[in-house]
């Protein structure tokens, strides 16, 4: 990517989104942070010499206005990273309020699709562009997140569908599925004793959390010309969590030894 490449990152003011902003800026992109928290977005944008705009992927008309403003005042968007999302508590289905379920689906699934369509329309006109959606490993496994996991599974499906739909126009659409990532929010929960890190990393082959920068590097690769032949792909960045979850049925991970008996 070049310094003229404009990259919009939704939810770019914190966590994985902010890491993506920093990595894309390091690679030369002009960053536009689209976030509901304008003050925090402005702080990150000032650090990177980028732009901050207030926006909500849950607000269709508002998002369309923001996209038009970005295109008119900043320039043509070449990269879109959809990182905006909300979490949910791991409640039983009978205890999960439908209002919470609706909100998670509205932001994580509908919001991702909407941002793709709104920003993708201009990419289609230019016959160029790269979109990277942030999904989750929970979209590929059974977990007690009965709104969040289905929404992230939908993001993976949306990615594949749009990749095929827009491929003839040379607009690429991929997604990244992070594992348990050491965002400020997760680290705060660990520090407060609300999350047990042993449970979080127990099924990861590498035995640790993912760092936000590790997710961001994969996102930046997929967004770049280096991945020019890749579209419709879901890339897990999970320290081997997907590979390792089933090993508990066989007693867990084994000591790999030192190779001396090879």
Q: Which residues are catalytic?
A: 148
Q: Is the dihedral of CA 139, 91, 89, 194 positive or negative?
A: negative
User: How many CB atoms are closer than 10 A to CB 82?
Assistant: 30
Using CA atoms, how far apart are residues 178 and 235, in angstroms rounded to an integer? 8
Residue 21: both structure tokens together: 């902003």
CA distances from 177 to 52, 72, 138, 225, 260 (A): 25, 32, 8, 20, 36
Count CA atoms closer than 13 A to 193's CA, side-chain side.
0
**CA-based nearest residue to 45, from 63, 66, 31, 64:** 31
Residue 234: both structure tokens together: 């879901």
- For residue 236, list its beta bridge partners: 177
Decide: 44 and 11 in contact? Cβ < 8 Å.
no
3-state secondary structure of 8: strand
């Amino acid at each position: 990517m070049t310094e003229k490449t404009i990259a919009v990152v939704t939810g770019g003011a914190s966590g994985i989104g902010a890491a993506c902003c920093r990595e894309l800026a390091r690679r030369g992109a002009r960053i536009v942070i689209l976030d509901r928290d304008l003050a925090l977005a402005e702080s990150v944008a000032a650090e990177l010499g980028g732009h901050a705009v207030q926006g909500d992927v849950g607000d269709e008309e508002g998002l369309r206005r923001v996209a038009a403003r970005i295109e008119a005042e900043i320039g043509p968007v070449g990269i879109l990273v959809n990182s905006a999302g909300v979490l949910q508590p791991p409640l039983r289905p009978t205890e999960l309020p439908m209002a919470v379920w609706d909100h998670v689906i509205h932001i994580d699934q509908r919001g991702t699709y909407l941002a793709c369509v709104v920003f993708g329309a201009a990419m289609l006109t230019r016959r160029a562009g790269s979109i990277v959606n942030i999904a989750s490993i929970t979209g590929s496994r059974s977990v007690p997140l009965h709104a969040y996991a289905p929404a992230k599974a939908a993001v993976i499906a949306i990615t594949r569908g749009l990749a095929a739909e827009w491929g003839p126009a040379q607009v690429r659409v991929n997604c990244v599925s992070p594992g348990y990532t050491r965002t400020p929010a997760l680290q705060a929960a660990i520090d407060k004793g609300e999350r047990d890190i042993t449970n979080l990393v127990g099924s990861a082959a590498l035995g640790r959390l993912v760092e936000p920068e590790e997710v961001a590097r994969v996102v930046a690769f997929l967004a770049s010309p280096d991945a020019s032949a890749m579209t419709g792909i879901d890339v897990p960045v999970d320290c081997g969590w997907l590979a390792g979850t089933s090993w508990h049925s066989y007693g867990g991970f084994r000591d790999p030894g030192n190779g001396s008996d090879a």
